[in-house]
Every structure is written in structure tokens, then in C-alpha cells.
Amino acid sequence: MANKRRVELFTTGCPLCDDTVRLVQSLACPSCEVTIYDLHKDWETDECRTLVEQYDIRHLPAVVIDGKLAGCCSGGGVRAEALRAAGLGAA
């Protein structure tokens, strides 16, 4: 296969991430090339940090398909405004 779909999976190696790894691997077809980045282990590499920044990954696990963060993974992560709205920091 000349043009494989590039699937990048960003995890921390935790049990919830492991479930996502299994899900992605079960859904991947022969046209998919899956690369798994365990941020707990790989964070010190320039490649890993650059990709996290490039894809604007804010929470994990996260899946990037052909260079685009999957819609299910683009929730934006924890934000101060949302925490304040939920009552954090209010006396």
C-alpha cells in the first residue's frame, strides 16, 4: 500500500489510555499505520513535544488521523473559565 492513513495515538500509559489503544487497534485496517506515543515515556523527545503542540492536544488520550486531531479528542481540555463557572475558587 503506497498511501497509508497515518494514525497517531497519544497516551500516558494509564488504564483508560490502554482501552483507547485497544479500540484504535481494533478499528485500524491494513490501510492504517498506527503510531503510539506514550507521553509518560516519550515526552523528552523533541518529536513528541512538537507534535503535541502542533496538534494542540489538551487532554489524553488523543487520536490524530492524517494530521488532524479527531473530533472526539478536541474538547479543549481543562480551562480556567470553565472551572470558575463550576464554582472553583468561589468563597
Q: Are 17 and 60 in contact (CB under 8 A)?
A: yes
For 5-85, CATH gives 3.40.30.10
pLDDT exceeds 70 at position 1: no
pLDDT exceeds 90 at position 52: yes
| pTM of the shown model | 0.82
Higher pLDDT, 8 or 2: 8
- Kindly indicate the confidence band of residue 40, based on its pLDDT and cuts at 50, 70 and 90: confident
pLDDT per position as a tens digit, 67-91: 999 988 887 766 778 768 878 777 6
Higher pLDDT, 19 or 45: 19
Q: Please tell me which of 21-30, 44-53, 67-76 the model is most confident about, judged by mean pLDDT.
A: 21-30
- CA 83 to CA 5: how far, in whole Å? 37
Side by side, the strands of the sheet bearing 68-69 are 32-38, 5-11, 62-65, 68-69
